Structure 1
Amino acid sequence: MNEVSISVIVPIYKIEPYLSKCIDSILDQSFTDFELILVDNESPDNCPLICDEYAQKDNRIKVIHKEHGGLLSGRKEGLRNANGKYVAYIDGDDWVDKFYLDILFILAEVNNSDLVVTGHFREFDGKIETVKPVYTGVFEENEIKSSILPKVMYNGTFCEPEITTYVWSKLFKRELLKKIIFEVPDEIVMGEDAAITYTYLSISKKLTISRIPLYYYRQRDGSILKSVKTPKVEYYRLGLLKDFLEIKLSPLLNKKNLNTQILYYLYSLILVRSGGLIHDAFGNIIFNPFLKTEKNSKVIVYSSGSFGRHFISSNSKSNFFKIVKWIDFDFHELNIGDNFVEPPSFISNTEFDFLIIASLNPSFVKSIKAELTLMGIDPKKIVQINTDEKEISRLLVKLGFENKLTQ
C-alpha cells in the first residue's frame, strides 16, 4: 500500500460488543486519507470475524491476526505494518468524533509537530465527563526539555500530570515512533502508555497541545479490576516500567526530579490497582493512604465511579473500614456485596468518623468537598490522600522497589 497521511491502529481482544461502533466511527471520518489497521490479538470471540467482514467492504482496512499477546504487542505489530506519515492509536472498545483525524492532522501539519495531544471524553456507566489538558500551546524542543518533561508525570499536584499517558488521545510521527516503541519491553503491561508517550516526548522537537475533546474513552465496569494478578506480579511489572523510564529520561532530567516524578506516578498506579489500601507481596495490608483513618473507622464513601467501585470491592474483602454509607450525587442503582449506592440525603456528622471521596482527581475532590460542606458535612472529616514523599518512598522500598527512589 502506498503511503497515506495517517495509519490508525486498533489492537483488539475480547471486545465484541463494542468493536463495530469503534470501526464505524473511524470509517465515518471527515478525513479520508488514512489506512485502518485492525490487530486481532487472537481474540476468542467473534472479533476476528468482524474484522475480516469489515475488510471485505472497505479497502482502507488491513487485518492482522497474530498470536495472543498484550496490548503493547498489538500496538507494535500494527506499527510494523503501517504506511502513514502519522500514527493514531484507538482502543477497540472506544470511539471517536467524526472530525478526530481531521483536527489531529491539521494541528500536526500547521505546527510541524512531532506530537499532538488533545482532550477526550470519558464515558462510564452512561455518564460522560470531559477531560482537557491543563495547558495548551505549541512547544519547541527547548521548552519540552526545560518546562514539560520536568513536570510531565507530576507537576506538584498529585495525579495531575502535565501530559496524560494515554497514547489514544495523541498523534505520533511514524518514523519517530519506530525509534522508541520497539525498545519498550512487552512485559510492561502496567503503564505501557507512559513508557511510550514519555519516551517519545523526550525525542520530540515540537509539541502541540489542544483542549479540543475528540476521543471517547469507554471505562468499562469489567475493566476496573482487569488483569490484576498477585501483588508480587504487579510490583514486578511496575519495576520494569520504573527501570525503563529511568533509563530513557535520566539523560534529560536531574536525578531528584526524575525520582520524585516516578515515585508519585508509581504510587498513583498502585493506588488505582489496589483500590486504595495497599498490600504487600503476600496480600497483607501494609499501607493505608487515607489520612487520619484507622482500621474499623466508620466511613462514608463518596463516588460510584471506577475508583469508588474498586475501593468498595477491595474493602468488602478486607473489612478494613466499617462502611456506613456509599453515596453519589450522580445516583445510579448499584450494589457491591452488602453495600448499596444511595443519593446523598441528610447525614448526621455523629454517625461516621470520616468521609472518603474515592477519586484521585484533585479537581473533582475539591469540587465534591465544597458541595458536601454546603450540605452540612464537617469538612474536617473529609479525608485527604497521603502524598508525603518520604512516606511513599518508604512504602515503595517495602514493596521491593530499589532504594534509589528515596535518595
Structure 2
Amino acid sequence: MLQPAKVSVVVPIYKVEKYIHRCVDSILNQTYTNIEIILVDDGSPDNCGRIADQYKERDSRVTVIHQTNGGLSDARNQGMTYVTGEFTMFVDSDDWLEKNMIENMVNSSFKYKADVVQTAFYYAYDDKSFLDNRYYSQRNDPVTLDNKRLMYELVVNDKVKNFAWGKLYKTKLIKDIPFEKGVLFEDVFWAYKVMHQVNSFLIVHQPMYNYYQRSDSIVANYTPRNLDMIRGLKERHVFIEELYKELTDESYKVILKMSLIHYNLLLMNRRKDKGGLHRKEIQSYIQSNYSRLKKAVKNDQQLKRQLHLFTMHPYFNVVFLGWRKGLRTLKILSHPVGLEQVNERKLC
C-alpha cells in the first residue's frame, strides 16, 4: 500500500562517482523529509555502489539496489518496484535539486489537485547556469493544463518537456507504465503514455531542478543509436494519429525537424553511417511522407523552406543552414531567442 504524502525518489547510478554526492546530498537535505531515496546501482564499474551503500548506512530513508548493467530504463524500472510513496520523482545522478523543491511540488500538487507537477529548471554548467524564460516568468502564477492542452504542449516540447525528471508524479499513474529497455531517449517512448492518463498537469515556474550539462560534444559522440529519438517520435505519432488526431500536423513537424537535424549529424559522422544507410532511411521517410509533411509545415516558413530544399537535394538544406549561420555571425540576421544566463558560480 502506498503511503500518503510520502515521496519516492528514484536515482539510477552509473559511472557518476564525480557527481553522486552532490546529487544524493541535495535530496537528503530537502526541507520536505517524508521521502525515500531509491539508489539503483546499475552495475557501475567505479565506486558508486560503495558510496550508495555508505548513504544507506547513514540514513534509513535510503534503499540501495545493486544489479548488472541494464541501462537507464532498466534501472528506473527496477527502482519503481521498490516505491512505497504516494508520489514519485526521477532524478538523474549527475543532476541536483534546490533545497525546497520537493516541498514546493507536493504542496502545489495538493493545492491545485494536480496529477503531475513540473518545475522549471536550470541548464547548469560548471561555472554558470541558464534559464529558459521565453514563455513564463518566475513571478507568474502556476499554470494548470487539462489533458488536451497537455498533449499539445508535450508534442511541441517547449512548455512541457518529455523529460521524466523535473516532475512529481502520483505513483498510481506511472507504476504500470515501464520505460522501454535498450533504447536511448527513453523518455520520448514513455512520456506520452503517462500524460495520456493525466487529467490535471501543473507547471510551476520557479526553477528548482539543476540539469547538469556535461562538456561532451554531441557531434563527436554521435552514433546511429541516437536515431532512437526519431523512432520514439514515430511510435508516438501512431498513438497521436489514433487518439489525438488534431495534433497530427504538430507531430509531423517535430519528426521532420528531428529528421533534418539527425541527417546533418550523420553527414558530419559519415564514417559511422556505413554506405549512408541511415541517411537514406531518413531521406526515404521524408520523400514517402512529403505531402503530409508539406501540409504540416505550411504555416512555418523556415521549416517549409527546409523541406523544399531537402527534397530537391539534402545538401541544399545543409548549405541553407550554413548560410543562415553565416548571416547570424555577421549580425545580418538576429539570433533566435535562447537561454538567459541567471548566475555565475563554481559548482561543487
Report if TM-score (shorter chain) is over 0.5: yes
Unaligned 5+ runs, structure 1: 155-159, 303-348, 368-407
- 2:261 partner amino acid: L
Q: Structure 1 residue 259: deviation in Å?
A: 4.9
Correspondence 1:166 to 2:169: no
Note the C-alpha offset of 1:264: 1.6
Mapped partners of 2:126, 2:171: distance in 1: 35
Counterpart contact for 1:125–1:221, Cα < 8 Å? no
Tell me how far apart the structure 2 counterparts of residues 100 and 110 of structure 1 sit (CA, whole Å). Answer: 15
- TM-score normalised to the size of structure 1? 0.64
The equivalent of 1:46 in structure 2 is 47
CA distance in structure 2 between the partners assigned to 1:27 and 1:137 by the alignment: 26
> In the TM superposition, what whole-angstrom CA distance separates every residue of 1:143-199 from its partner, at most 9, and x where no partner exists?
321x33234322xxxxx623111221111111111232x2x4213312x22232222
The residue type paired with residue 118 of structure 2 is: V
- Distance change (3 Å), C-alpha of 1:279 and 1:30: same
Residue 218 of structure 2 corresponds to residue 244 of structure 1: no
In 2, Cα distance between the equivalents of 1:251 and 1:175?
25
Residues 1:2 and 1:254: Cα distance change in structure 2 (over 3 Å): closer
Query: Do the aligned residues in 2 keep the contact of 1:276 with 1:288 (CA within 8 Å)?
Result: no
Identity of aligned residues (%): 27
Root mean square deviation, CA, Å: 3.5
Q: Which residue of 1 aligns with 2:182?
A: 187
The code of the aligned residue for 2:257 comes to Y
2:274 aligned partner: 282
* CA–CA distance in structure 2, aligned partners of residues 214 and 59 of structure 1: 25
The structure that is helix-richer by fraction is: 2
Is the CA contact 2:233–2:255 (under 8 Å) kept in the aligned structure 1? no
The 5 Å alignment of 1:7-406 reads 7-132=8-133, 134=135, 137-139=142-144, 143-145=146-148, 147-154=149-156, 161-180=158-177, 182=178, 184-190=179-185, 192-222=186-216, 224=218, 228-229=222-223, 231=224, 233-235=225-227, 237-254=228-245, 257-265=247-255, 267-268=257-258, 271=261, 275=265, 281-282=273-274, 284=276, 286-287=314-315, 289=317, 292=320, 299=326, 362-364=336-338
* Cα pair 1:150 1:258 within 8 Å, conserved: no
Letter in 1 for 2:18: P
Aligned pairs, number: 298
Question: Compared with structure 1, are the counterparts of its residues 266 and 15 closer, same or farther at alpha carbon in structure 2 (3 Å cutoff)?
Answer: farther
Q: Counterpart of 1:78 in structure 2: which amino acid?
A: G
| CA distance, structure 2, for counterparts of residue 133 and residue 70 of structure 1 | 34
TM-score by length of 2: 0.74
Report the Cα offset of residue 243 of structure 1: 4.2
> Quick check: 1:70–1:189 contact (8 Å CA) kept in 2?
no
Distance across 1 between alignment mates of 2:25 and 2:44: 19
Shift of 1:207: 0.9
SS in 1 for 2:159: coil
1:181-227 deviations in whole A, cap 9, x for unaligned?
x2x4213312x222322221111011111111001111001374686
What is the alpha-carbon distance in structure 1 between the residues aligned to residue 31 and residue 237 of structure 2? 40
C-alpha displacement of 1:268 = 3.5
Comparing both chains, which one has the higher relative contact order based on Cα–Cα distances under 8 Å and sequence gaps of 6 or more? Answer: 2
Report Cα offsets for 1:72-127 as digits up to 9, x if no partner. Answer: 11111111111110111111011111101111111111112111011001112422
> Which shows bigger deviation, 122-131 or 167-176?
122-131
Q: Deviations over 1:325-375 (max 9, x none)?
A: xxxxxxxxxxxxxxxxxxxxxxxx6xx9x9896xxxx4229x9xxxxxxxx
